[in-house]
Amino acid sequence: MLLFAPAWVALEYVRSRFPFGGFPWLLLGYSQTNSLRLLQVADLAGVYGISFLIVLVNTALVWAWWRREYGWRACGPIASACVLLAVCLAYGSAELRRWDQVQPQYRAALLQGNLSVDEPEPALAEKYKEGYVRMADKLGSADADLLILPESPSPLIFQYDRQYRETMQGLAHRFPLGVVFNNISFRDGNGAGRYFNSAFFLDRSGTKTGVYDKIHLVPFGEYVPCKKLFFFSETISKDVGDFQPGDTYLTVSLRGHAVNAIICFEAVFPDLCREFVRKGSELIINLTNDGWYGDTWAPYQHLAMARWRAVETRRYLLRAANSGITAVIGPTGEIQVQTGLFREETAIGAFSFLSGQTFYVRHGSSFLILCVIILFGALSWSLIRGARGR
């Protein structure tokens, strides 16, 4: 029973990897997102550490009830779990005091256009281009240093549409740190055209400084895995794309500071965000479109998981969502400002470029490896003892 905690964490990690690249939606630790003191432990062990703690406390309680006796064998596990919980809370309090002293130096404007793929293409094109310009026009000249546009359905292609390209460059001229936006990018490869879900970076001069191609695509949404096996998928849904995955953890320089973008549900993968920070990123920008979820709990869940990436890496996370929830998240996971769902709205928040690497960024898998060692070590010992008994 006491091995249940490391076993649970090991299975959560498996679910984060398999199948089709994994789907770590709502791991157990995410239930404690609003407990800011517990959340701070994520910079040591990630969300897996809190999952371990939750299971450990609960199995220790069951263990004590099951044995129904006094003494160390019955109460030892629950005493150990309580001590670990107290240490985690004390660590969280200290880290909150430390990171609350960080003073943001820049301001970002995140535009939530609330565009729908169900709209007629001419209306969508007008909103995609002129709509964002109108929203930016409402900003004062000193309101923001950086403009961020979300992932959204795009009928206009930056590479080929000169008018749209000039519009985006015009927006970039207004902001000292330029603009970051989402669009489809095209490349030739192996004699065939390939297209990517990408984040574009333009500096204040309108020059393209970088294009990040989404690495972790949505299976059966942006591509069909194992096409020969799932050959029938296109007869079920015509909305499955044929995007190619990116292969580079790209960081882009904003005034000498390395910045990275993650697109949509890439925010639920701790190792992916961690890798960008290992490569020097000082700010995380998340472009997403949660409109597919409709009016459900999923947009709130998606936001909750993104908050952990800010704590694990101790970075500001600027989250621009097409239909909500757009938010500016601090390095403690606290939400500085957020918008509502399914409305056109602008979120303006403060941020800083932060350097340094947390224990989790440097040694992300160490806690998981420890859990696996404990699990298999104990199971091996049990098998040996059982064999000797027979």
Annotated catalytic residue 126: no
* Mean pLDDT for the stretch of residues 362-379: 88
pLDDT at 252: 97
Report the topology of domain 106-357: Nitrilase/N-carbamoyl-D-aminoacid amidohydrolase (3.60.110)
The domain ranges of the chain are: 4-100+363-389, 106-357
Strands 345-351, 106-112: pairing kind: antiparallel
* Rounded distance between C-alpha atoms, residue 287 and residue 229, angstroms: 31
Higher pLDDT, 138 or 224: 138
**Of the candidate ranges 299-308, 313-322, 333-342, 376-385, the one whose mean pLDDT is the lowest:** 376-385
**Which one of 12, 95, 127, 151 is the catalytic residue?**
151
Question: Does residue 236 have a pLDDT over 70?
Answer: no
Question: Does residue 222 have a pLDDT over 60?
Answer: yes
The pLDDT tens digits of the residues spanning 56-108 come to 999 999 988 887 776 677 788 888 999 999 999 999 999 999 999 999 999 99
Question: Does residue 227 have a pLDDT over 90?
Answer: no
Per the prediction, the chain carries an average pLDDT of: 89
Sign of the torsion angle spanned by Cα atoms 9, 296, 291, 343: negative
Model confidence at 189, in pLDDT bands (50, 70, 90)? low
pTM for this structure?
Answer: 0.91
pLDDT at 250: 96
**Which one of 88, 95, 264, 312 is the catalytic residue?**
264
pLDDT at 238: 47
What percent of the chain is modeled with pLDDT above 90? 63
Model confidence at 122, in pLDDT bands (50, 70, 90)? confident
How many CA atoms does the CB half-sphere of 269 hold within 13 Å?
24
pLDDT at 337: 95
pLDDT at 191: 52
Annotated catalytic residue 264: yes
pLDDT at 65: 84
| CB-based burial, 224-263: b 16+ in 10 Å, e otherwise | beeeeeeeeeeeeeeebeebbebeebbbbebeebbbbbbb
Model confidence at 18, in pLDDT bands (50, 70, 90)? confident
pLDDT at 235: 47
Burial of 386 (0-12, 13-18, 19+ CB in 10 A): exposed
pLDDT at 219: 83
Tokens of 162: 């000169």
Question: Does residue 117 have a pLDDT over 90?
Answer: no
pLDDT at 232: 52
Tokens of 40: 């701070």
pLDDT at 204: 95
Annotated catalytic residue 214: yes
Strands 317-321, 327-329: pairing kind: antiparallel
* Rounded distance between C-alpha atoms, residue 13 and residue 186, angstroms: 34
The pLDDT tens digits of the residues spanning 263-301 come to 998 999 999 999 999 999 999 999 999 988 888 999 999
**Which one of 214, 222, 273, 371 is the catalytic residue?**
214
What percent of the chain is modeled with pLDDT above 70? 93
